[in-house]
Amino acid sequence: MSVRDGVDAGESTGTAAVEDRWVTLKRDCEGVSMEVIEQHTDGSVEMVDETWLTWEEFTGDPAVDVDESKHGEIRLDASRGVDE
């Protein structure tokens, strides 16, 4: 997964400057999805990248035992770590 090269928080994207950037990580019984989200100074929010991986791809373990009852979402700040 990649974020557009050279565009960091505070830089211009051509319309409005990027004010904040974060990654949303979601899991379910089949795998993990990740989205890179940017919020611009004009208030707009844009998904700039996304990917989906099976549990085997995500862990590198073909025999991973996934607890199917657990699922959820976590937001990771792109510059400061995990938002609680």
Asked if residue 84 has pLDDT above 60, the reply is no
Residue 50 within any structural domain of the chain: yes
Q: For residue 34, what pLDDT is reported? A: 92
7-55: pLDDT as tens digits: 454 444 456 888 899 999 898 888 899 999 999 999 999 999 999 999 8
Count of domains for the chain: 1
**What range defines the domain where residue 51 resides?**
18-82
Residue 45 lies in a domain: yes
Largest CA distance in the chain: 46
The model's pLDDT over 63-75, given as tens digits with 9 standing for 90+, comes to: 777 777 777 777 7
Residue 75, in any domain of the structure: yes
- Sheet harboring 72-77: ordered strands across? 45-54, 31-40, 18-27, 72-77, 81-82
